[in-house]
Structure 1
Amino acid sequence: MAALRSEEMEGVLVVSFTDAKLLEETKIQQVGAELLEMVTRATDDRLLLNFSGVSFMSSAMIGKLVLLNKKCKTDGVDLKMCNISSNVMDVFKITKLNKVFDIHPNEEKAVKAYAKKGWFG
């Protein structure tokens, strides 16, 4: 079974997770591989990770997100994240990843943020 679901919305590839807890090593490896594949499929070089329903993730999963962020930067893909639970956001804040990742409160605001590029956006 796929660990991720994806759909296109307003020129953005929106990726959602099928599991609420990203803790098991085998699942994390699967998610990591699928996320890297999504970079090549990103619509107009726009990739949005929607964490709706994800309540916990391990440090190994956070490592996969850091690698994904690096790959997106290398490949010129604009990565954004949204709907992050308070548990996960707390970890992002402790590790200062909330300053590294482009995080938005919900999918609608994240998709709109792609249109706000440039000086007058």
Structure 2
Amino acid sequence: MSDQKRLKVTEVEDVAVVEFKDRKILDDVQIQEIGQEFNDLVEVDKKRSILLNFSHVEFLSSSALGKLISLDKQVKQQDGHLKMSNIRPEIMEVFAITRLNKLFDIKDDVPDALAAFRG
């Protein structure tokens, strides 16, 4: 698995479960690094089933949303599946306002999301 500075990746069955190490995802350098790690997950590590666990994330900038959209497109181009879980209500509100809650497959928690990969 490639080197991860901003993300913690664990394998559960054939799903890459990704946790963010940062509580606030705000600055451009940080967001670029996350984008590169997302890219490495798909292009280098060849992950096709990815679960983003937002349990540690308290704040997400609009630039970070762009990286999530890019990751979603990248995964779908590889016939993969991206799911998200544990999104705080204040971040979920941003997803709803931007209608990203319609684009992304969002589950309440990690067990729900893992079950959705199997089902």
What TM-score, normalized by structure 1, do the two folds share? 0.90
Q: Which runs of 5+ in 2 are unaligned?
A: none
- In the aligned structure 2, how far is the partner of 1:34 from the partner of 1:20? 17
Task: Please tell me whether the aligned partners of residues 5 and 15 of structure 1 are also in contact (alpha carbons under 8 angstroms).
Answer: yes
Spell out, residue by residue over 1:28-76, the C-alpha distance to the aligned partner (whole angstroms, 9 max, x if none).
0001110111123255x21111111101110000001011111111111
Aligned-pair identity in percent equals 42
1:21: which partner in 2?
A: 24
- In the aligned structure 2, how far is the partner of 1:22 from the partner of 1:59? 10
Q: Which runs of 5+ in 1 are unaligned?
A: 117-121
- In the aligned structure 2, how far is the partner of 1:30 from the partner of 1:85? 23
2:15: which partner in 1?
A: 12
Q: How many residues align?
A: 115
Task: Please tell me whether the aligned partners of residues 12 and 42 of structure 1 are also in contact (alpha carbons under 8 angstroms).
Answer: no
**RMSD between aligned alpha carbons?**
1.2
1:63: which partner in 2?
A: 66
- In the aligned structure 1, how far is the partner of 2:111 from the partner of 2:53? 11
Secondary structure of the equivalent of 1:73? helix
Match of 1:76 among 76, 79, 96: 79
> Which contiguous aligned blocks of 4+ residues in structure 1 show a shift greater than 2 angstroms?
40-43
What TM-score, normalized by structure 2, do the two folds share? 0.92
Task: Please tell me whether the aligned partners of residues 8 and 14 of structure 1 are also in contact (alpha carbons under 8 angstroms).
Answer: yes
